[in-house]
Amino acid sequence: MVLNPLFLLKLKNKMLTNPIILEDLENITSNKIINWERFRNKTILITGASGFLPSYLVYSLLYLNHKDSNFKIKVIGLVRNLGKATIKFKDFIQYSNFRLVENNLMHEISINEKIDFIIHAASQASPVFYKTDPVGTLMPNIVGSIHLLQLAIKNKVEGFLFFSSGEVYGLTENISMPINENDYGYSDPTQVRSCYGESKRMGENLCVCYAHQHHVPAKIVRPFHTYGPGCSLDDGRVFADFVKNITLNEDINMNSDGQATRAFCYISDATIGFLKILLNGKIAEPYNVGSPYETKIIELAEILVSLYPEKKLKVKKLATRDDLNYVKSPINRSCPDISKLKNLGWEYTISIQVGFKRMVESYNY
């Protein structure tokens, strides 16, 4: 969806000025499957607020206030590093309906005002951290989840959303694709890389137990590979590496045979799914969020190169990855069954060609 130029001019110097992101926010907040009235006059706590996925939730909710000042939505962003987050949200710091709170989730959360919704998205999702900081990767999903679920009880929240991951399914070679929410493969808890997937499993179980014992209205989202503007080009995941290559006018260097498959979902589609599950998902149940289409890594590289023929870039195959801190995923195929989410009215709308073009272009602003 393209923004009205006059509306874009009105927003200039008041909030985000990246036209790609603004178009995404207009697309998200105009979606009819979300009952936006549920957020009117509400306070939403979002952990990991400066991260790639949760930052789009912050933007979307605050964007509603810009479209209609009577929404009066208040967003509290919980972050590990207040300095970095302040830079990330520099266009919003001046507003009374948004504030940042520094907390690494290892300690109880001290917020005195009434909270209506909690979105727990704090987690180190980049494979780079799985080897360099596995403890810091797993703790927010376990200890942090306990603190937030206790806060949910105290505030009698209307909704609680836990960001899990498609990695909870483990190795699924013997499971037919796509993977539905009841399919589980093998996960080795003695491997350092399992810090992410195993802690997400524990976080999910905490949500289920608190829903059962304390009636916390906790819902679970399992995002698969989500991409788009705002993702750090040093993220460590393969799609970010490829986009970085295109942005810097570099050939794409393949560090594998590229036959592994992933399902890539654009950030605006995913954000709509997250909010729909928060409001209308079943309590204590997980929902896959992602693209229903598998794409080989080599195919993604070729698609990105083909989007910019004028750059005359090539896809080159190298022997191994030279990043010693990167822990390779053992998962060769990954594609979600999104039937459960589609039953809530959600649709996958942004093709991989359109989405990655938007992602690349967003770094020009």
Q: Give the 3-state secondary structure of residue 142.
A: helix
CA 190 – CA 311 distance, rounded (Å): 45
* Residue from 196, 210, 227, 266 carrying the catalytic annotation: 196
Rg (CA), the chain: 20
Q: Which position has the token pair 């979902």? A: 265
Question: In angstroms, what CA-CA distances link 60 with 12, 30, 134, 271, 272?
Answer: 16, 10, 31, 9, 10
Q: Give the 3-state secondary structure of residue 227.
A: strand
DSSP-assigned states of every residue in 125-158: -SHHHHHH-HHHHHHHHHHHHHHHHHHHHHHT-S
Nearest to 257 by CA among 360, 332, 364: 332
Q: Give the 3-state secondary structure of residue 273.
A: helix
Question: Parallel, antiparallel, or unpaired: how do β-strands 225-227 and 252-254 relate?
Answer: unpaired
Do 162 and 130 contact (CB within 8 A), yes or no? no
Nearest to 141 by CA among 207, 94, 97: 207
Q: How many CA atoms lie within 13 A of 240 on its CB side?
A: 17
Q: Catalytic annotation on 196?
A: yes
Do 8 and 42 contact (CB within 8 A), yes or no? no
Catalytic annotation, residues = 196
